[in-house]
Structure 1
């Protein structure tokens, strides 16, 4: 049995618990001893971050070999043409090599908490929203992918990692889920524990 914490990381918060430069960190949001994040979320990105004290669980979630899909809502500058979407679906070549094909579609502007500071309509009068799913975790990958096809990212929210989703969590809030180890799995086929049906929810520290 392992505890997994689902946290809605706000904009301009580091995905770590300390910072020599005095920037906001996870220590201001969640006070659970011994936990650390499974992967990272950029300082200027928002959304779902998973944390645990169980190292093997962190490995199963975060290691690229396990290819956990990550889904993002992405506000981009400009109108999305089908050619740009098709390029993302086919895979594009960045400076560090070709990407795997992404799942991507245009979505209506989602209902989100305001960001501080917000994306300025005067500077960015025409924007679009995408739902984009990747199975890699390169540095600033989504931003680099959208820029490559002529759609600079203005706002980025991670809404899902594998089976875990952001729903029900406001920025700075978290909830705990108790995970139970699976009874069996195929050889060489890593599997994640089954989730408890009773999560515990917490809010950011005052």
Structure 2
């Protein structure tokens, strides 16, 4: 039970910090300013990790690789702690691979949360500043679907289609992760 509690706490803390790094990466990719409450929160959570990494990890064009490396380091730390708590059984290389998969799984989870938030805000607060920020984060993902899926009775189903695709991706990544662990 002790390991389960530690695992839960690690998952929450690592998810918050690494998730903030991934959202920061997406905001910078989309050139979304951080001068809003969501941006300031993301900046506050990720800044102490990302800024020192920028000295050694240069950006690749618009890709903020320091944020990506920061997210991976957080997940790597989480998996190493769990590996050590489990007695250090299994190869350390597996922990490295699982941490990469953990970042991918977290990216899918973050995008799922943003798309759900986008769908809710589009019905409840379509003109709010928060909706505009979330909308900009989602546009790169929703635009290709909107070109393919027609409106049904005037309703945009692109968010639903993207959520289904994200669930499928999550199942595939989870299956790969479980396959590696056994």
Tell me if TM exceeds 0.5: no
**Which gives a bigger RCO, structure 1 or 2 (Cα 8 Å, sep 6+)?**
1
TM-score (normalizing by structure 2): 0.28
Of Structure 1 and Structure 2, the greater helix share is in: 2
Of Structure 1 and Structure 2, the greater strand share is in: 1
TM-score (normalizing by structure 1): 0.26
